[in-house]
A and B are shown apart, each in its own frame.
Chain A
Amino acid sequence: EDKVVQSPLSLVVHEGDTVTLNCSYEVTNFRSLLWYKQEKKAPTFLFMLTSSGIEKKSGRLSSILDNKELFSILNITATQTGDSAVYLCAGVSGTYKYIFGTGTRLKVLA
């Protein structure tokens, strides 16, 4: 059965800290892994990863995929209170089914 597991479930840090969010996956005929940020509304797209070992970067956020060990990490450096959100990862299967993890709830304190 396809599954995506995220850790930790919840994280509280102070502004300026660096955080690493983990996502492991078992997805049939894996195509890609996506990261989303969800605040009060629907998720917003952050990254799509298809190739192992290639880092994607957007400002203070970066992500990398290891498709040998079947995991991805999302790094956020110099965290700000606006980074507080639930971060979701999703594995995309060969039939384009998106399997979401339960998310990591990040709280950044001022």
Chain B
Amino acid sequence: GAVVSQHPSWVICKSGTSVKIECRSLDFQATTMFWYRQFPKQSLMLMATSNEGSKATYEQGVEKDKFLINHASLTLSTLTVTSAHPEDSSFYICSARDVRGAGETQYFGPGTRLLVL
């Protein structure tokens, strides 16, 4: 399967600071990447769809000014949590859409755990 990396794996930060998370597709180009958030024992919640070279599409209820997404190249999307607060603490997972081959699928990065103190 394809490889998607995320950096960092873990972040602990103080309230009010901004945190940037990177998502890279290592062995394929991804025009579309997705950002999810997952709370303990709950399923993935799609936050936004990131399209290379254009603005991200945010899901209802997700603040675009709070969660800034940039997809500057075909292999990199970034999510910046601005002015983070304790309620932003969560597991953030990115995925990249792989359209090679007969059908398309989505490969996930390993996730980033964010803890805001």
Nearest-CB distance from A44 to chain B (Å)? 7
Q: Is A64 an interface residue (CB 8 A)?
A: no
Q: Is A48 an interface residue (CB 8 A)?
A: yes
- List residues of chain B with CB within 8 A of the CB of A90: 106
Distance, CA A36 to CA B95, complexed state (A): 13
> Interface residue count for A (Cβ, 8 Å)?
21
Tell me which residues from 33 to 85 in chain B have a Cβ below 8 Å from any Cβ of chain A: 34, 41-44, 46, 49
CB atoms of A98 and B111 under 8 A apart: no
Partner of A100, one of B1, B44, B97, B105: B44
Q: Is A75 an interface residue (CB 8 A)?
A: no
B-to-A contact residues, CB < 8 Å: 1, 6, 32, 34, 41-44, 46, 49, 93, 95, 97, 103-111
A-to-B contact residues, CB < 8 Å: 32, 34, 36, 41-45, 48, 50, 88, 90, 92, 96-98, 100-103, 105
